[in-house]
A = this chain, B = another copy of it.
């Protein structure tokens, strides 16, 4: 039988999920005792998980006052997307230079297979997951664990923004095809070992979404401050 996930991991996962989807409202103080009761644990392991989340940028901490949900300013969104550019542009450069031929082929096949799902655009969350998965796999082609780790962190922190952004896109009109072809252009450049091409495609792709995301953060504020969601 598989090893049961340890309790602190369970707490960490739960808390990170709460932080990423803003079950905590921005800037709100986090009550440790309440969390402990809610998650059926004592304060000690809860605080350990919270400390990790602070280090990862999901929460902030003020000595003597406790833990707080991070705020979400347009400036932070800008910073996070620029950081994504830094990580992902270099990743595709490395991928174009040394990505495994077979892995690239697999990724291209996979992209083609799920293209219909992109364009059908039934479920925004599924679309988000596909988008994120593609970027993660692309980064994996570079074979650099640190870049992968940085991207994973950034993805977690902007997930909610991406969701709101995608919802906006879908409301405007069908955009699944646009996303698929952007992804395909990046991957094609990598396949033909065109590092510069891949880099500029990736940069353009992310920057295109940056403005959408800064707009999304304003929408997000509206959606965040409802009683419960």
Contact = CB atoms under 8 A, between A and B. Distances in A.
B8 A82 contact: no
Contacts of A48: 47-48, 51
Interface in A149-171: 149-150
Contacts of A6: 63-64
B150 A150 contact: yes
Contacts of A9: 63
A147 interface: yes
Interface residues of A, number: 36
A90 interface: yes
A80 interface: yes
Contacts of A149: 57
A91 interface: yes
Interface of A is mostly: helix
A14 to B, nearest CB: 16
Contacts of A57: 146, 149
A85 interface: yes
B79 A145 contact: yes
A52 interface: yes
A64 B52 CA distance: 17
A98 to B, nearest CB: 11
A55 interface: yes
A120 B6 CA distance: 54
Contacts of A86: 86-87, 89-91, 147, 150
